[in-house]
Amino acid sequence: MSVTRRWASWIAAGLVGCVAVSALQGQQAAPRVTDAILLKPADGDWAGYGRDYAETHHSPLKQIDQSNVSRLAQTAAIEVGSDGKIETTPVVFNGVLYGTSTWSQVYAIDLRTRKVKWQYDPALVRGGTEAMGPRPCCGPVNRGVALYEGKVYVGLLDGRLVALNAETGAPVWAVQTTPPGTDYTITGAPRIIKGKVVIGQGGAEYGVRGFLAAYDSATGKLAWKFFVIPGDPSKPFEDEALARAAKTWSGQWWKYGGGGTPWDGIAYDPELNLVYVGTGNGSPWNAAHRSPGGGDNLYLASIVALNADTGKYVWHYQTTPSDNWDYNAAQPIILADLTIGGRAQKVLMQAPKNGFFYVLDRATGKLISGEPYVFTSWATGIDKETGRPIETEAARYRYTPVRLSPGPVGAHHWPPMAFNPATGFVYYPGQETSSVFAMEEKFEFKEGQWNLGIRRGTPAGAKPVPPPPPDPKAPAPGGFFVAWDPVAQKPAWKIPFLSSGGALSTAGQLIFVGNSAGKFFALDPLSGKTLWEAQLGQGVATPISYELDGKQYIAVMAGISQGKVHTFALP
């Protein structure tokens, strides 16, 4: 089926579907999330994805603390639809919780009545063939919404950005952010910055060109767009930053899309007026096929700072030059003020897939420190002068299979990190992994399929070769949850843990996180000791904390085949 026909089939399936369960008419206008609220949220609100622009996932509420958390009890378990794993971080404002489930469905939950206020279902065509909808690389997940001036903003799997009425769920406007009929997808949560809705997208494996864009929150009109990588050099580049980046590419990368999709991590510094975005992996993965003459391939696998008003490039730091392993840097970003070497510094922190924890000066992008938080056999360290990884001899694999750590799943993926200002630690889940890499003998781009440029299995007619054994220096594969000290650049503590979602920190000196078996924990932030636990359904996502009528609550969405919003409070 042609791209045009496939796009028409999505439209025929229904651009917008909405069930308004409840509507308020003739009443005084409800309070709205404003710029002032986003800049300084009230202690009891969780009005943005990471709660604050620094993306700390930390709540200043402390009614629930170490002395009473053992008495924490479930107050509600509200069912929502799900057809796959829930990955949302909900937001709460004015007594209403807004969260998403799979296939870009949005739910508004009245926290006082504990009932669904309204549900929005965009009625996406579910599938992954030419005759059906978009092909997400990693399931039809959605990680959340944004609130602003009486609207709820959600990115849909098919690349649309939609504004909903916060009271009724009725669509206000919708805009197609990606080229129609292509395999771009949106799974991440939008951010609201100075009246603009900022959103990226995924789809690098299918051969797309990544970009971050901002849209007017009232109308959906495009305000600015930053392409992560340069396009066809025979045409004018969109800006000077891309002209410079093109010098780090070779061959005909633009025919393969190039990748770089910024599908998740975004943060904002209001004082510097900088938007920070983590960018994705190369397309295809193998650098020798993507850019056969070499080069760093900017701005793949990078943290890029942009002017919030114009989207213009300010600085970048590339975590993985000439990415060869799917080590994208689209993971969560946290901003904080730390004292390092006796000097106060405004920093940006990230634990991307490549296995190194980075601390950067967020005004300049200069590397402050970078140390491994897992076993890394692709690089031995980070050169402090150049900021570049010190690659091992095996890292630039060719046709002979080699085993490298981490594997493409990465040492840390999408689950949000949390920063506790009292301990100064960053809390996040990760995993020790490895994978066998070998270069595909001949790369041919295939539309609508994963284009990796790496060989899987044995070539036809060749004698099977046993895969390389695990590195004897490598720890056993498995998951963990860590309290990372970003000043000392080492773990304060680390426990075995099979993660399901991200972390929540609270001023009651508690860390909340769920595991893949459906258990939900409260941990001591200084020791990792379990102080409380509850059994939920599998697929525990990222928790938040809010206050309602003077009482602190913990909320988390969970579920795989059936989703639920779980809330907890003291008796």
3-state secondary structure of 4: helix
Whether the predicted pLDDT of 561 surpasses 90: no
Kindly tell me the sign of the dihedral angle through the C-alpha atoms of 312, 318, 319, 323: positive
Q: Provide the residue type at 506 as one letter.
A: T
**pLDDT more than 90, % of the chain:** 84
C-alpha count within 13 angstroms, C-beta hemisphere, residue 424: 13
Q: Does position 16 have pLDDT exceeding 70, yes or no?
A: no
**Higher local confidence (pLDDT), 14 or 196:** 196
Domain locations in the chain as residue ranges: 237-413+416-460+477-498
Read off the pLDDT of residues 18-41 as tens digits, 9 standing for 90 and up.
443 333 333 457 899 999 999 999
Beta bridge partners of 361: 347
Continuous segment of H or E residues that includes residue 38: helix 35-39
pLDDT of res. 29: 72
Question: What does the DSSP 8-state code read for residue 242?
Answer: H
At 7 the pLDDT is: 41
Q: Which of 207-221, 291-305, 416-430, 448-462 has the lowest mean pLDDT?
A: 448-462
**What is the per-residue pLDDT for 537?**
87
What is the average pLDDT value for the chain, to the nearest integer? 92
| Residue range 83-107: mean pLDDT, rounded | 96
- Please give the average per-residue pLDDT across 177-203, as a whole number: 95
Show the tokens assigned to 531: 């102080």
Backbone angles phi, psi at 79, to 5 degrees: -75, 140
Catalytic-residue membership of 326: yes
Distances 262 to 293, 465, 501, 522, 534 between C-alpha atoms, Å: 25, 37, 19, 31, 34
Q: What was the pLDDT predicted at 284?
A: 94
CB 283 within 8 A of CB 451: yes
Backbone dihedral region of 130: left (phi > 0), alpha (psi from -120 to 50 degrees) or beta? alpha
Does the pLDDT at position 225 exceed 50? yes
Mean pLDDT of all residues in 107-118 = 98
The predicted structure's pLDDT at residue 133: 54
- Backbone φ, ψ for residue 241 (5° rounding): -60, -35
Question: pLDDT (tens digit, 9 = 90+) per residue, 502-543?
Answer: 999 999 999 999 999 999 999 999 999 999 999 998 899 999
> Is it the case that residue 156 has pLDDT exceeding 60?
yes
Question: If pLDDT is split at 50, 70 and 90, which confidence band does 177 have?
Answer: very high
The pLDDT of residue 321 = 98
Query: Under CATH, to which class is 237-413+416-460+477-498 assigned?
Result: mainly beta
- Inform me whether the pLDDT recorded for 8 exceeds 70: no
Decide: 361 and 343 in contact? Cβ < 8 Å. no
Do residues 43 and 551 touch, judged by C-beta distance below 8 A? no
CA atoms within 13 A on the CB side of 86: 36
pLDDT in tens, 125-139: 876 544 445 677 778
45, 158, 183, 326: the active-site residue: 326
Q: What's the rounded Cα separation, in Å, for the pair 510 and 523?
A: 6
Whether pLDDT at 203 is above 80? yes
Helix, strand, coil proportions of the chain in percent (round to 5)?
5, 35, 55
Summarize the confidence of residues 244-250 as an average pLDDT.
Answer: 98
Mean pLDDT of 538-557: 97
Count of H helices and E strands in the chain? 4, 40
Report the b/e string of 127-136 with b at 16+ CB within 10 A. eeeeebbbbb
Facing residues of 107 across strands?
A: 99, 119
Q: Coil, helix or strand for 336?
A: strand
Encoded amino acid at 121, one letter: D
Q: Please give the pLDDT value at position 464.
A: 75
- Report the relative pairing of strands 504-506 and 58-59 from DSSP bridges: parallel
Structural Rg of the chain based on CA atoms: 23
Residues 428-473 pLDDT 10s: 999 999 999 999 988 888 887 888 888 876 666 677 778 899 999 9
Range from 182-186, 270-274, 477-481, 506-510 carrying the lowest mean pLDDT: 182-186
- Identify the pLDDT of residue 9: 40
For residue 445, what pLDDT is reported?
A: 83
Helix (H/G/I), strand (E/B), else coil: 244: helix
The DSSP-derived string for 245-313 is HHTT--SSGGGG-EE----S-EEEETTTTEEEEE---EESS-HHHHSTT----TTTTEEEEEETTT--E
- At residue 277, the pLDDT reads 98
490 bridge partner residues: 485
∠118-119-125 over CA atoms, to 5°?
A: 165
Encoded amino acid at 533, one letter: E
Query: Cis (ω within 30 of 0) for the bond into 268?
Result: no
Choice among 71-85, 168-182, 398-412, 439-453 with the minimum mean pLDDT:
439-453
The reported pLDDT for the residue numbered 23 is: 39
Whole-prediction pTM: 0.93
User: Percent of the chain scored above 70 by pLDDT?
Assistant: 92
> Residue 430's closest CA among 519, 559, 532, 332?
332
Residue 118 in tokens? 């309204």
